[in-house]
Amino acid sequence: MEHTHLGRSGLSVSRLCLGTMNFGPETSEEDSHAIMDRAHELEINFFDTANVYGWKKGQGVTEQIVGRWFAKGGGRREKTVIATKLYGSMSDWPNDTFLSALNIRRACDASLKRLQTDHIDLYQMHHVDRATPFDEIWEAMEILRQQGKIIYVGSSNFAGWHVAKAQETARRRNFMGLVSEQSIYNLATRQVETDLLPAALDYGIGVIPWSPLHGGLLGGVLKKEQEGSRRKTGRALERLEEVRPQVEQYEAFCEELVEEPAHVALAWLLHQPAVTSPIIGPRTLEQLDGAQRALEIELDEKALMRLDEIWPGHDPAPEDYAW
């Protein structure tokens, strides 16, 4: 497994990040623990979770599963760069949602308890809170860092201008600010190329793409449809009829490459500037093992051009929409 720095930080993380969103709702705790053990065997040291994962409000089901895995010992916690998030509602009571200083403090302490650890390596804002000023957010994060409860701060679902505003506010406070941004980014969804990626590159922020297969759309959905081996849900269901001709071309091109579509989609992301680690969310050990193939695929200029023809991207703003 190749490792790289997370943005401009000195933190070394694996080029694939283990997403845990399926742990609990889709994958049993026993199987989740086996997947995390296997990830370490593959030298994947970067795990991503969130306080709302598990989708039982206020329970933090997925964080608890990860915490019980850490509690098994054997260097599990020490070998893991754990990233979690806050923003989503943990109850219907006021101040248990969003990014107020009060919720940042409470949410962090709750995540630490569920994860059974004394610190979070990367604490991420799960969304933009337009009602809370960044001075308030950064003061709360600075205190957590001084207390040793968090080490790095990241964002998720920010636009380029949100990143710029956050970083300039942090600069005035002599604080490091963001080291990462977690965005939806894949061959079929490339809007972040207009302003988010240029901002991330300029500020030295590592991009962690989520939904790298767009909910299965880029994972051989037509072949699986023919075989009857996959039920289309979520993003794949929403987009398939709209982009079916592109998916047909894409799967045909992957056949020419003699590679699985899912592996090509991950490999493409690994070739993109600013991308640190795409998040893979395996439900099974087989899916985790299969994703490793993406690390071995070298896409030459001709292949990258063909993928751009099938899935057109964006130029940086303003050239994307102006002369």
Residue 135 lies in a domain: yes
Beta-carbon contacts of residue 138 (< 8 Å; ≥ 6 apart): 166, 169, 170, 173, 175, 177
pLDDT the model gives residue 238: 81
Selection from 228, 252, 239 nearest residue 306 by Cα: 252
Strand partners, 153: 123, 178
Place of tokens 């994060």: 141
Residue 311 lies in a domain: no
Strand partners, 279: 17
Selection from 196, 188, 187, 201 nearest residue 156 by Cα: 196
pLDDT single digits (tens) 261-302: 999 999 999 999 999 999 999 999 999 999 999 999 999 999
pLDDT single digits (tens) 61-98: 999 999 999 999 999 999 999 999 999 999 999 999 99
C-beta of residue 32 within 8 angstroms of C-beta of residue 23: yes
Distance CA 318, CA 207 (A): 21
Residue 157 belongs to domain with CATH number: 3.20.20.100
Is it the case that residue 231 has pLDDT exceeding 80? Answer: no
C-beta of residue 66 within 8 angstroms of C-beta of residue 49: yes
Distance CA 217, CA 80 (A): 30
Distance CA 311, CA 231 (A): 23
Number of domains in the chain: 1
Is it the case that residue 233 has pLDDT exceeding 70? Answer: no
pLDDT the model gives residue 151: 98
pTM: 0.96
Residue 221 lies in a domain: no
Selection from 71, 72, 83, 73 nearest residue 18 by Cα: 83
Distance CA 40, CA 59 (A): 26
Hey, is 308 helix, strand or coil?
helix
Selection from 246, 257, 252 nearest residue 293 by Cα: 257
Burial 180-212 (b: 16+ CB within 10 A, else e): bbbbbbbbbbbebbbbbbbbbeebebbbbbbbb
Distance CA 34, CA 289 (A): 12
pLDDT single digits (tens) 127-168: 999 999 999 999 999 999 999 999 999 999 999 999 999 999
Residue 236 lies in a domain: no
pLDDT single digits (tens) 174-194: 999 999 999 999 999 999 999
Residue 31 lies in a domain: yes
Residues with a known catalytic role: 53
Residue 91 lies in a domain: yes
Question: Residue 58 sits in which domain range?
Answer: 3-214+265-298
Residue 303 lies in a domain: no
Residue 223 lies in a domain: no
Distance CA 36, CA 20 (A): 9
HSE-CB at 51 with a 13 A cutoff on CA atoms is: 29
